Amino acid sequence: MIEKSNVNDTTWHTDDKTKPLVQIKGLTKKFGDVIAVDNIDLDIYQGELFCLLGGSGCGKSTLLRMLAGFEYPEAGTIKIDGMDMSNVPAYERPTNMMFQNYALFPHMTVEQNIAFGLQQDVMPKDEIADRVHGILKLVELEDYKKRRPQQLSGGQRQRVALARSLVKEPKLLLLDEPLAALDKKLRKQTQFELANIQEQVGVTFVVVTHDQEEAMTLSSRMAVMDAGKFKQIGTPTEIYEFPETRFVADFIGSANIFEGRVSEDGADHVIVSTNVGEVYVNHGQSIAKNKKLWVGLRPEKIHLSITPPPQIGPNQIMGQVEDIGYLGETSIYKVRLKNGQIVDVTAPNQRRPMSRTHSITWEDAVYLSWEPESAMLLIS
C-alpha cells in the first residue's frame, strides 16, 4: 500500500494558512456486512473542484451522500468550514447537491424549482426573484422559466438542476454523476461549461464520477477510489503520469505492466530488471534493492520503429506486430514480445497514408523504445 504521507502530499495546499473547507477523518460506513466507505481521511480546500473517481460500488456515492447528510457514518467525523456535521440533518447543512437523475420537482416550473431552496430561508420575495433571475441567466435558461421539467431536453434539465443547487450559494456543492445522463457530444461540451461556471461562482465542487475522462477534464484534484478506500489522491497530471499502483495506472488510461525487481538504486534513477529486459527509470525516490515492483508504460509513450533506435541501451524491446486498430486520429498496435506478452502502443496518425495502409503493418518486426522519464514505478 501507499504510505499515508504520500497520499496527502500534493502541491495544492503548500500554503499552510489555507484551512481545509472539508475535513474528513476516519469516516466509515457499512451497509449490513458490506463496508461502503472504509476509514477515509480527506481534506478539501476552498475553491477546489474535487473529483471522486471509481467504479460502481466503490463507495464514492456513499461518501457524497454522507457529505450531504442523507447517510450517517458508523465512525469518523465530517467537518465543513470547521463545524462538525455529525448531528446536522441534511436540511440544515451548508451543502447542496445536484442529483444524478436531477430530482427536479415535476409539479413545479423551472422557476419554482429554483426558488424552492430560497423559499426555505427567510428571504424577501423580490430578492428571491432577483436571485432566480440571475442564476437563470448564468445557465442560459431565461426563456424556459415557465416550463415544467418534462418539457425540457436532457441538457436543459441538467442546467436547471445545476441552477437549483447553486442558487443557495452553498459552501459546498455536491454533484453526483452530473453528466452521466447526457449523450457523448453534449457531455464533452458541458464538462467545460461546468468547469467555467465553477470558476465564475467560486463555490467548492465535489464531483462523483465513474468517467475518468470527465474527472481528468473537470477536476483540480481527484481521488481514485476502490472498495471504500482511496487508492491515490492528486491532480489529474499526478494521477495519470505518476500512478502509484497497478490499479490506478490501469484505471486511469491504460498501461502495459511488467513485473520486475530493483537491480540498481541510484541517486536519480532506478534500474528494474524485468522479464523483458532492463528498464531504466528516472525516479527521485529511493527504493530498496531487490524489491519486487512493477513497471508501467503508457501506450502513447512508446515509440514504434522498424529500424533499430540510434543507441543500443535499456528501454528497448523487440516484438512483432500482431494486430492494428485504426481509430482515425490514432492507431493502436498490438505488439507481441518474445515472451508472448502483448504490448499496446498507440501512435498518432500525423500523416495521411499514401497507400491506405500503415507504414508499419501486420507481421512486421518492430523496435519498442521509450524515454527514461516515461516508465512508471508501481509499488503494488
On the 0-12 / 13-18 / 19+ scale of CB atoms within 10 A, 206 is buried
Q: Which is nearer to another protein, 33 or 92 (CB)?
A: 92
Sole window of 129-137, 161-169, 221-229, 257-265 interacting with another protein (rule: CB under 8 A): 161-169
Q: How far is CA 247 from the centre of its chain?
A: 13
Q: Which is nearer to another protein, 83 or 90 (CB)?
A: 90
Q: What residues are paired with 226 via a beta bridge? A: 229
Does residue 120 bind another protein (CB under 8 A)?
yes
DSSP states along 115-175: HHHHHTS---HHHHHHHHHHHHHHTT-GGGTTS-GGGS-HHHHHHHHHHHHHTT--SEEEE
Quick one: which of 116, 242, 247, 367 contacts another protein (CB under 8 A)? 116
Quick one: which of 33, 121, 143, 268 contacts another protein (CB under 8 A)? 121
Site string for another protein, 75-114 (x = CB under 8 A): --------------xxxx--xxx-x-x-xxxxx-------
For residues 315 and 369, the answer to whether their CB atoms sit within 8 Å is: yes
Beta carbon of residue 247, minimum distance to another protein (angstroms, whole number): 31
Does residue 32 bind another protein (CB under 8 A)?
no
Q: Which is nearer to another protein, 64 or 216 (CB)?
A: 64
On the 0-12 / 13-18 / 19+ scale of CB atoms within 10 A, 79 is middle
Q: Which is nearer to another protein, 98 or 233 (CB)?
A: 98
Q: Tell me, by CB under 8 A, how many residues bind another protein.
A: 25
Q: Which is nearer to another protein, 1 or 123 (CB)?
A: 123
What is residue 337's three-state secondary structure? strand
Quick one: which of 73, 117, 178, 236 contacts another protein (CB under 8 A)? 117
Q: At what angle do helices 125-138 and 110-119 cross, to 10 degrees?
A: 130
Q: What are phi and psi of 221, to 5 degrees?
A: -150, 150
Beta carbon of residue 164, minimum distance to another protein (angstroms, whole number): 7
Beta carbon of residue 248, minimum distance to another protein (angstroms, whole number): 31
Q: Which is nearer to another protein, 91 or 312 (CB)?
A: 91
Which alpha helices (H) appear in 19-143, and where do they start and end? 60-68, 110-119, 125-138
Sole window of 30-38, 160-168, 286-294, 314-322 interacting with another protein (rule: CB under 8 A): 160-168
Does residue 68 bind another protein (CB under 8 A)?
yes
Beta carbon of residue 67, minimum distance to another protein (angstroms, whole number): 11
Question: Cβ–Cβ contacts within 10 Å for residue 302, how many?
Answer: 23
Q: Rounded CA gap, 194 and 98, in Å? A: 12
Q: Rounded CA gap, 325 and 86, in Å? A: 52
Does residue 31 bind another protein (CB under 8 A)?
no
Cα angle for residues 207, 47, 158 (degrees, 5° grid): 40
Quick one: which of 5, 14, 150, 311 contacts another protein (CB under 8 A)? 150
Beta carbon of residue 375, minimum distance to another protein (angstroms, whole number): 45
Does residue 129 bind another protein (CB under 8 A)?
no
Q: Rounded CA gap, 225 and 75, in Å? A: 19
- Residue 194 parent element (H or E): helix 184-201
Q: What are phi and psi of 84, to 5 degrees?
A: -70, 130
Q: Which is nearer to another protein, 165 or 190 (CB)?
A: 165
Quick one: which of 168, 187, 298, 301 contacts another protein (CB under 8 A)? 168
Sheet holding 204-209, edge to edge: 95-98, 172-176, 204-209, 49-54, 221-226, 229-234
Site string for another protein, 307-326 (x = CB under 8 A): --------------------
Beta carbon of residue 174, minimum distance to another protein (angstroms, whole number): 8
Q: Which is nearer to another protein, 149 or 253 (CB)?
A: 149
What is residue 62's three-state secondary structure? helix
Q: Rounded CA gap, 61 and 207, in Å? A: 9
Residues near another protein (CB under 8 A): 68-70, 89-92, 95-97, 99, 101, 103-107, 116-117, 120-121, 150, 164-165, 168
